[in-house]
């Protein structure tokens, strides 16, 4: 099939690369010139494992065509995926301006009988609004659908190539439902994963409910960890003991400084706003959001309690990204904690395998180091704030030698407490004695 993807971010580019790999012809559009220029050279403007290789191959074979022009992208498209950003507004609601702008442009160029699919995470009812916007500006017949994306940064390509499920929301009108669903099922036919065919609003809610539930698991285990700290129990073992029950599952029960990124913080707040605007008091979700915000503060409190004042203290930080395997620092717990440390007068030096440039754009005062062990020089404490695998095996004796005081605060429960203490470190983590 001929596919147009609007928006060259994580979701758009990964979907474009995977659809091209499946043999479809794909046009990927973005209004940012620089992103398209890079793509034309087979390069990606963010770090995502496996993605550049796929893009490079597809661009070379002309299976994937990057463009800034809606006319070019939509000329032969049977299916259009809207994958533009929906960042949060101050109120917690989603800013839908990019989605509405895309709809206006789509209306000008869309081909007869094409399907416009919303992939961006959007509040309930948005796909219907998109239909109205397009309908007002075109006489051409078309249909809309909602097919949310569940990929995770850092493993976006394999999540999209091997999805757990493919959700397809179509209009409740019977004929439209059958036709549009058929087209989208055909488009995805080479992919595994259960198909969930439903209506537009349900599809939109599935995405929010999934992210909110995962966020709930994280806030839940973080509260259990805080309790473990008080009673002297071990949250890792609690999570294991709970997670072995298949009804609970082991995933997303890692305690730490809370969730960040471009999805969980935004989507939990947006779903909460949806509840408020529908006069529903979503108490549980409100608590999940609050617990996550408090978790970073509690961690800083631990550091402060141990070091006394933070004024003029040298703090070495390992990890800036909101999680491992990404260079993304959006809503990163590490970034908040570093900003607070700096505000309290600490000198912060940091290292991250991928996210240093992005972090520096936001916190200009941040000193960055080329190697992890450099952050330890004359440090009064070392903070681990992102769960990068490489932080598990650092040259600890060398690091200890460089530090003024050998204290480690592990905000990700990454390191084995017994083994690190053998090197003579004072070691503190989250919910582990
Ligand atoms: C998430 C969803 O997982 C994905 O399905 C959706 O499409 C987009 O949002 P992503 O934002 O890439 O994906 O990150 P994810 O891997 O889910 O992690 C989110 C945050 O939770 C990270 O900050 C991570 O460190 C934290 N986390 C995750 C925990 O603190 N504990 C855990 O057990 C798991």
Whether 273 and 317 map to the same domain: the answer is yes
- 381 C-alpha to center of ligand 1: Å? 27
How many domains is the chain built from? 2
Q: Are residues 175 and 310 in the same domain?
A: no
Which residue segment(s) compose the domain that 358 sits in? 198-433
Residue 244 Cα to ligand 1 middle (Å): 20
Nearest to 266, CA basis, from 207, 321, 217, 339? 207
> Which residues 6+ apart lie within 8 Å of 360 measured at CB?
366, 368
Residue of 159, 256, 259, 298 best suited for mutating to test ligand 1, as the one with most atoms within 8 Å of CB: 259
Q: Is 263 a catalytic residue?
A: yes
Claim to verify: residue 206 and residue 150 sit in the same structural domain: no
- Same-domain status, 353 and 233: yes
Answer with the one of 192, 207, 229 that is the final residue of a domain.
192
Overall pTM > 0.75 = yes
Ligand 1 atom at shortest distance from the alpha carbon of 262: 11
Are 149 and 209 part of one and the same domain? no
Whether residues 85 and 154 share a domain: the answer is: yes
Assess whether the C-beta atom of 11 lies below 6 angstroms from ligand 1.
Answer: no
- 339 by Cβ neighbours in 10 Å (0-12 / 13-18 / 19+) ranks as middle
Of residues 83, 114, 263, 369, which has the active-site annotation?
263
Rounded CA-CA distance 255/278 in Å is 32
What are 17-62's pLDDT values in tens digits?
Answer: 999 999 999 999 999 999 999 999 999 999 999 999 999 999 999 9
Question: Do 176 and 252 sit in the same domain of this protein?
Answer: no
Last residue of a domain, one of 167, 192, 217: 192
Residues 173 and 211 in one domain: no
**Of 171, 192, 213, which one is at a domain's C-terminal end?**
192
Q: Residue 46 is part of a domain; what is its CATH number?
A: 3.40.50.720
287 & 365 share domain: yes
Tell me which residues of the chain have a pLDDT lower than 50: none
Co-location of 73 and 152 in the same domain: yes
At 105 the pLDDT is 97
Give CA torsion, residues 137, 141, 142, 143, to 10 deg: 110
- 180 and 307, same domain (yes or no): no
The pLDDT value recorded for residue 172 is 83
| One domain for residues 207 and 267 | yes
């Amino acid at each position: 099939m001929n596919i147009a993807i609007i928006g060259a971010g994580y979701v758009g580019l990964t979907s474009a690369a995977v659809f091209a790999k499946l043999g479809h012809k794909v046009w990927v559009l973005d209004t940012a010139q620089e992103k398209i220029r890079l793509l034309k050279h087979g390069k990606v403007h963010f770090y995502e494992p496996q993605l550049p290789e796929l893009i490079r191959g597809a661009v070379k074979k002309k299976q994937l065509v990057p463009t800034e022009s809606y006319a070019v992208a939509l000329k032969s498209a049977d299916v259009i995926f809207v994958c533009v950003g929906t960042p949060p507004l101050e109120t917690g609601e989603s800013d839908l301006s990019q989605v509405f702008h895309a709809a206006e442009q789509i209306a000008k160029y869309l081909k007869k009988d094409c399907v416009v699919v919303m992939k961006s995470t959007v509040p309930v009812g948005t796909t219907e609004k998109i239909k109205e916007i397009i309908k007002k500006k075109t006489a051409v017949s078309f249909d809309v659908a909602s097919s949310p994306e569940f990929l995770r940064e850092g493993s976006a390509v394999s999540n999209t190539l091997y999805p757990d499920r493919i959700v397809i929301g179509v209009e409740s009108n019977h004929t439209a439902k059958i036709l549009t669903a058929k087209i989208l099922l055909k488009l995805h036919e080479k992919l595994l994963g259960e198909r969930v065919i439903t209506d537009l609003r349900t599809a939109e809610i599935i995405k929010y409910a999934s992210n909110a539930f995962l966020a709930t698991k994280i806030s839940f285990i973080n509260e259990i960890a805080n309790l473990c700290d008080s009673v002297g129990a071990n949250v890792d073992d609690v999570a294991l003991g709970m997670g072995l029950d298949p009804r609970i599952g082991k995933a997303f029960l890692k305690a730490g400084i809370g969730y960040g990124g471009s999805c969980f913080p935004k989507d939990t707040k947006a779903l909460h706003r949806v509840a408020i605007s529908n006069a529903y008091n979503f108490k549980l979700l409100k608590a999940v959001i609050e617990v996550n915000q408090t978790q970073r503060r509690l961690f800083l409190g631990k550091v402060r309690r141990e070091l006394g004042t933070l004024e003029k203290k040298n703090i070495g930080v390992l990890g800036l990204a909101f999680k491992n395997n990404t260079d993304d620092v959006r809503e990163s717990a590490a970034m908040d904690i570093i900003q607070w440390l700096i505000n309290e007068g600490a000198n912060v030096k940091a290292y991250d395998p991928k996210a240093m440039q992005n972090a520096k754009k936001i916190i200009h005062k941040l000193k960055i180091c080329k190697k992890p062990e450099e952050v330890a020089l004359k440090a009064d404490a070392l903070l681990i704030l992102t769960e990068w695998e490489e932080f598990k095996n650092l040259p600890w004796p060398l690091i200890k030698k460089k530090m003024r005081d050998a204290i480690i605060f592990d905000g990700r429960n990454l390191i084995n407490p017994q083994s690190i203490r053998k090197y003579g470190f004072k070691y503190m983590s989250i919910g582990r004695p």
